[in-house]
Amino acid sequence: MALAMLSQPDIVENLAVCMADLTPVGPPVNLVSLALASRAYYNTLRDKCFPVVFARLFQRGFAMSALRRRLGSLSESDIATELPRRFTSLKIIRRGAMDDPGLRDALMRAYFMLLEDDGENTVQIAWCNLSETVKSILRQSLRKEAAMNKETTALAITLFSMISQSARLSSWYHCI
């Protein structure tokens, strides 16, 4: 009886959000453990709670107000679809693999995250160590033998400019 009650979608949803809050920055790695705890949790998370949980996690970890200003109203399924994309992009950037086929798209997503940042995205960007990956891309693109994608290099230059400008502005504000 108690186990059946713990498998109710609203309880699993709240449990999933609490588990994800244990790692507030970066992908919610604890959700995998929860899904593996029982078949009932896995099925409930996969079928009934997926859009709700992912939408709640997105709202906790990323700037929602900026997205709403730009795109208007968003459904839970739209938000739920964007969450794994963002975390995949952040993981690609964090790995710093220059040969990853998703690097350009990951940098583009980071660019939009910086553009629409109200404070929450900065924490996620810091977690993925964007500045180091961007510096590595720029160093590699300066080598003659490197065959770096021009779009990736252009994004790296733009992101480097945005990161260094925001660092200068934040240090200037702290001096006032």
The per-residue pLDDT for range 43-70, each reduced to its tens digit, is 777 766 678 888 888 888 898 888 888 8
Q: Does residue 1 have a pLDDT over 60?
A: no
pTM for the complete prediction? 0.84
Q: What is the pLDDT of residue 90?
A: 96
- For 55, the domain range is 2-175
- Both tokens of residue 38? 């029982």
The C-alpha atoms of residue 119 and residue 61 are separated, in whole angstroms, by 10
Q: What is the pLDDT of residue 131?
A: 92
Q: Does residue 18 have a pLDDT over 80?
A: yes
DSSP result, 133-165: HHHHHHHHHHSTT----HHHHHHHHHHHHHHHH
The C-alpha atoms of residue 38 and residue 48 are separated, in whole angstroms, by 15
pLDDT digits (tens, 9 = 90+) for 128-175: 999 999 999 999 988 866 677 889 999 999 999 998 886 654 554 444
Q: What is the pLDDT of residue 116?
A: 87
Q: What is the pLDDT of residue 174?
A: 46
Mean pLDDT, all residues of the chain: 83
CA 159 from centroid of its chain's CA atoms: 16
- Both tokens of residue 142? 């300066």
Number of domains in the chain: 1
